Chain A
Amino acid sequence: MNKKRYAIVLDTRRCIDCKACTVACKAENNVPLGRQNHRNWVTEEEVRGTYPHLGQSFTPSQCMHCANAPCKKVCPTSATGRSPEGIITVDEKRCIGCKYCMTACPYDARYYNEEIEAVDKCTFCQHRILAGRVPACVDTCPTKVRVFGDINDPTSEASKLLAKHPHRVIKEGMGTKPHLFYLI
């Protein structure tokens, strides 16, 4: 049997910018208040067209759990690691707060959490996955933008979506091999 490889597939056309995912994430993961403290976010693209023919897209995002993760490479104390399922993790006890990972991440996916005194980021809600649940942002989304799953399992919903639809990743040219896939 193949090793598991978790990923999230996103259909951004469904996103209504309600930001429930960011609220759910903050609550689920005890993310402190404050503008800079967030594990996920929704990018609001510019409005297209002229009135009354207008359009706007929203791109929800978070740590890409890159297969070639620059944050993991630069961490001097190996505090940043990778789970067997591909989740990029931070061991709080070993984080020295040098913030090198924050300068190395091309997605701005990390922040320094003053409460846990370490750099913090999305973990795909690892604690929920272990309990057989999906990440909070996936669970809460009213329009089901995100689909979480094991892309090494061809029968998973995420794999099926990727097989059926063309998709892209963000900043592909960085060579980070991100595992957040956006359907086109």
Chain B
Amino acid sequence: MFNVNKIREDFPLLKKTSIIYFDNACTTQKPKQVIDAIVRYYSEYTGCAGRSLHKLATKTTEEFEKAREKLAKFINAKKIEEIVWTKNTTEAMNLVSHSFKFEKGDKVITSNLEHSSGLLPWQLLAKKGIIDLNFVLCNKEGEFNIKDFEEKIDNKTKLVSIIFASNVTGTKAPLEEIIKIAHDNGALVLADGAQAVPNFPVDVRKLDIDFLAFSAHKMCGPTGMGCLYGKYDLLKELSPFMLGGETIRDADLKDHILEEVPHRFEAGIQNYAGAIGFGAAVDYLSKIGMKNIEDYEKELAKLLVEGVLKIQNLNLIGPKDWKKKNALVSFNIKGMEPHDVAILLDESNIAVRSGMHCAYPFHKFIGFDKGSVRASLYFYNTKEEIKIFIEKLTNIAKTLGK
């Protein structure tokens, strides 16, 4: 049974302080199990994976590959080799954009809701004249426009890059439908799963998704660690954009033979502690159960959205129906700067984020040129914390808002 108080015991920071941490879309807190796994690597078996043959290196290789296996299982990948380590979602997205074999005139479709990491890599290619970049315009609530997508996709479209769950509106893209339409038109789909994989069960085989990028630190894992899932045959088709140690089988002064997938994409010494920590995070989440996490977060979303909607002078971004959202709200208070609201909440020991949340085009599209305040929850947050947050926010809006 899901017991939030018991779960909170695992998080040293939550145990030690009275802080209400509502900045989980930025990064999450780390449970003791993850911290211990990282400390174990550094204190018991520090070594290089896949290189040396001594005991420490062998143990590192074992644990490093075991973490890969855990991740593959977590998202139901067909093969362990379909998991490529990256340093974050951004690097995973860039890996695809830089390694995909585009030909001049190929089209890429993305949306106006994207995070910078899902937009700028394509802008770069478009500016170089390598691709034609097209956009599906989500409505002002951040809902994906399937009709617009169907109109824009054609046989020139090689890739569709879409944010799975928005870090601003909390809405989910209809990924199954998008993938079906894309495949029918011969295009592949890359999803930015940074806000999706941590919050609800994601089955890559069921979705039939081609590429999925996500980060460890948004799902209780360490920072500086991410992953790219890709169908094995598609990964083999990519041309690595970064080469170095461990990416090749053989080389002479003029040429080289690439290592197998996924190692050909993992140049140089890897973040072993990060990968092992990522594996521990996946173990931790799996133990709680992703379905349980999703269900509990829905309860939080209901309370959160219904609470903020009662506050006068508050403009909520995205749908007002909590069923359409993750446990995340972005908003502005009339007459106040987003940073001011965040600092005032911080003075009450409530941590939220303010600014553009790396989604400049969408904020401009909805007329929030100075950004917004975002409160994003995770499964260790409590209903009591939401009540305190609503109370403090109401007071701020009432006293200082227009």
Do A and B make up one complex? no
Which residues in A have some Cβ–Cβ distance to B below 8 Å?
none
Which residues in B have some Cβ–Cβ distance to A below 8 Å?
none
